[in-house]
Structure formats: C-alpha cells, structure tokens
Amino acid sequence: MPSKGLEQPAQASDYTIQPAHEEHRVHAAEVRRRLADRKTTLIDGRPTLQYTGEEPGRVYHTGKAHDNNGHIPGAINIMWKDNFNADGTFKSVDELRSMYAAHNVSHDRKIITYCNEGLHATPPWFVLTELLGHDHVQVYDESMAEWANDSSFPVHNGDQP
C-alpha cells in the first residue's frame, strides 16, 4: 500500500536549485575565532545528554559516534525540540521570546547555532531570524560532526557555562 501523500507519481517541474545563502553559514575557523568574543552566543541544539558529554553525539546518516563528547566551550544548550509544541507547530512568539531571554540570548549579540551536523541547528536559526527578528544569526553547518572529530578543537563537558 502506498504511503499517504504518495498516491500519485511525481510530476516533472522546472525547479532550479538556487545557490546557498553563504551569509547564513559559518565555518569552523570563524567559530574558533569567536570563542573569546563576548558579543557572540553559541547555541547547541542537541539533546542535553549530548551537550553535557554524558552521551555521544552521532553523525545522523551513519550513526557513527563522534570522537569527543561534549560541546563547544561557552555554548549554551537550547534543544531544537524546545522550539515546538507537542503537535509539531512552533511555540508562540511570546513563549519563544521568553525561552531565549531566559538563556540571555539578545539582539545585540551575534549568534551561531549548531548541533551534530547542521540539521537540528536550523529550527533555532529560523526562530531567531524569522520569528524573533534577530539580525546576526548563522548556522555552523558542519557542527559537531567536524568539531568533535578534530582533536585540535576544544570540547567542554558538563553543564551550561
């Protein structure tokens, strides 16, 4: 039996892939440079036990555990799921504003979101830019799949800084 929504064959289209918006991305060298910058907030969107290092982060597509457990030093943990209601819709703007304010996320700071490999870094990026109006938010696309597997990058274990 076909899956719901797949009853009809796909139709040809003229869709053209657009280039990535590089201004929304940041790479490891920039993240490392900003570690000492007091005007940058790093948001780790992974589950808390991965953030603290009690459980390993894993590459989504392969399930391979990262070489090092924990988070990028100075990062705060706001799990990607915390942006949503139980039914999968986004929380209200007021709820989201309060949640991020409770973690001292403010408009006067640059923000970098990350996770295991960029997938779960995007809900906080979307909420912060599109719903809460932050201007300087970027995604560290390679996230912990790169950072935690490079022995030259520092990794912190434990709770919030």
Residues that are catalytic: 115
| Pairing of β 76-77 and β 40-44 | parallel
Question: And the tokens for 94?
Answer: 């007021």
What stretch of H or E contains 38?
none
- List 25's β-bridge partners, or say none: 139
* Three-state SS at 116: coil
Does residue 66 sit in helix, strand or coil? coil
Ranges of H-type helices in 4-156: 28-34, 48-52, 93-102, 122-126, 143-147
